[in-house]
Amino acid sequence: MAETATAKSRREAWGRLRKLPSKRWQARYPAPDGKLYSARTEDDRPLTFLTKGDARAWLNRVHDSIARGEWEPPAEAAARREREEAEAAARDITFAEYADRWLERIATEPGKGSKMRKPATVMMYRGRVNNYLRERLGDTLVREIDTDVVRALTRDLVAIPSRLRPDAPHNGVASDAIDVLKMILRAAVADGVLARMPDVATPQRKSVRHDQDHAPEDDVATPAQVEALYAAMPQPWRLAVLLAAWCQLRRGEVLGLQRRDIVWNIDRTAATLYVRRQKNGSTGGLTDPKSETGVRSMAVPPLMIDRLREHLDEWVGAGAKSPIVPTSAKGKEHMSASRWNSVWADRREAVAGLPEGYRFHDLRHTGLTRFAQEGATLAELMRRGGHADIKVVLRYQKATMARDIELAARMSASVDAELARAMTTPAR
């Protein structure tokens, strides 16, 4: 504690010493700020001495620190040391400890745009940390993770065989794992735990399901194949095939549909479908669609109106919230993504001509490609598919090259014909 410099005590050449009733010695000194301070410990607690010599030696050390310009008020010095110790402890944190803190942070704090991350997103990041990063980096101090460390990790991850196709040259996990690692390390740089961001590129993303000769057009099913898939699926789930293909819905959107999402005209000859939620494949619950653009409405194609009406009458419960794809006929429970995947993998094998491992999601690709072939604009494709990224939609227009060739040929023929007529018509 600071006292006024006029306090009475035994004077030394510099500072003051006083014997306490406890027989221990107290030391006080005049500080540069004009106050008289009693001896304090480094954590700013009262300090006394067993002998007068010990007290005098302590005074001499303080005097030297003042002469060197290094003195700080005891409370400020204690606070500074506490900060430094905390910073040192933070710099000594392991990757496993910091990754856990980071996962907790992103689960409880807003991200970009001040929006909370979806539980499925946090679960996905946690899975990549636990499955691919924790074992390899867990005991490594974050401050020691540099470019060489990340490059070595990248090589290890790239070398992991693909679970889907062990003979594939890519595994489909390395790029995602490294992206999550980079997010964690960027946060560590911002927190002052890591000095600089390692300079390592994310491994290139390439398809695991197909070889390099595979083209997006190969995943477009023919109408006959869609019909065969519809016929191969058992009830009450058969309509899901048509919803994915001709309404271009994602799996979670199909499984999340409820009776109230189908709005009919007066005589039930036309319907509008509203996408308001999805069955989340990660959490198992009903959540908002993938993005804000995922909330949308669309006309149900006439080719499936009769089947939609029959499905609702025969297989869907009467309640407004009854699932369109229930676990059982007219049941109240939405079918889970895992059970659907099992049924789909079993029944798709009955359809000839489909690529190996044909995905349910490829039906959506089929429908959007056909929509593009009918002349839909990019904006119309984005709205129909609930896309937020125009780059994703561009592939559906690329898949219409046959239509482009046909139109170019027709244009060429009409231009040639017009030129021919012009050349044979005499000038007036």
pLDDT in tens, the chain (428 residues): 444 444 445 556 789 999 999 999 999 999 999 999 999 998 899 999 999 999 999 999 999 999 999 999 999 998 888 887 777 666 688 999 999 999 999 999 887 777 888 887 898 899 999 999 999 998 999 999 999 999 999 999 988 876 656 666 666 788 899 999 999 999 999 988 898 999 888 887 665 555 555 555 667 888 999 999 999 999 999 999 999 999 999 999 999 999 999 999 999 999 999 999 999 887 888 988 878 888 999 899 999 999 999 999 999 999 999 999 999 999 999 999 989 999 998 999 899 988 878 899 999 988 888 888 787 778 888 888 887 777 776 666 655 555 565 656 667 777 778 777 877 766 55
Q: Is 147 in a helix, a strand, or coil?
A: helix
CA dihedral 40, 42, 48, 50 (to 10 degrees): -160
Q: Indicate where the chain has its CATH 1.10.150 domain(s).
A: 95-190
- Extract the tokens encoding 332: 């109240």
Q: Is 140 in a helix, a strand, or coil?
A: coil
- Kindly report the pTM of this predicted structure: 0.61
Q: Indicate where the chain has its CATH 1.10.443 domain(s).
A: 224-359
* pLDDT for the residue numbered 90: 64
- Considering the domain delimited by 95-190, tell me its CATH architecture: Orthogonal Bundle (1.10)
User: How is the beta sheet containing 262-264 ordered, strand by strand?
Assistant: 262-264, 271-275, 296-299
Output the CATH code of domain 224-359: 1.10.443
Per-residue CA distances from 60 to 15, 27, 66 (Å): 9, 11, 10
